[in-house]
Amino acid sequence: MTRVLLVEDNPYDSLLAKEFIKEAGIAAEVVSVPDGEKALDILEKVRQGRLNSFDLVLLDLNLPRKSGFEVLEHLRDRNGRPFVAVFSSSCTLEDRMRAETEGADAYLVKPVGSSEVDAIVACLRDIFRELRERSHPRSI
């Protein structure tokens, strides 16, 4: 089963992300946290071997306490880090480029219409397909 760390402060967007994962047909264990600081705490426990690793971090950028960019910075230089997909309402080129520079593997813009929902579900299917095809699990 694929393990996903969902870092999202908005309860509606968190529900939406879980629904997208389900619609993508992926059997996933989703662990949700509402801010970047809690995400960093969990990732540290994984690094210490106190929690199982995650295959995917689905990360909002605009978070309380620590931003998504700070979480990306923490993950950037880790060997064997999980796949990181930004899930943000920001569609600015600046945020996309910064996320890529900080090590994001994918950038998904939160949908405002039904056609965008289909695109996100398709992208998640591709991400999970890539994760399944990897011969070794990624951990922090």
Residue 29 Cα distances to 21, 26, 70, 90, angstroms? 10, 9, 24, 26
Spatial contact of 42 and 31, defined as CB atoms under 8 Å apart: yes
Q: Which residues pair with 73 in a beta bridge?
A: none
Average of per-residue pLDDT values in the chain: 87
Q: Which two tokens stand for residue 57?
A: 């971090």
Question: Rounded to two decimals, what is the model's pTM?
Answer: 0.84
pLDDT in tens, 7-65: 999 998 999 999 889 988 888 999 999 999 999 999 999 988 899 999 999 999 999 99
Which domains, ranges and CATH numbers included, belong to the chain? Answer: 6-126 (3.40.50.2300)
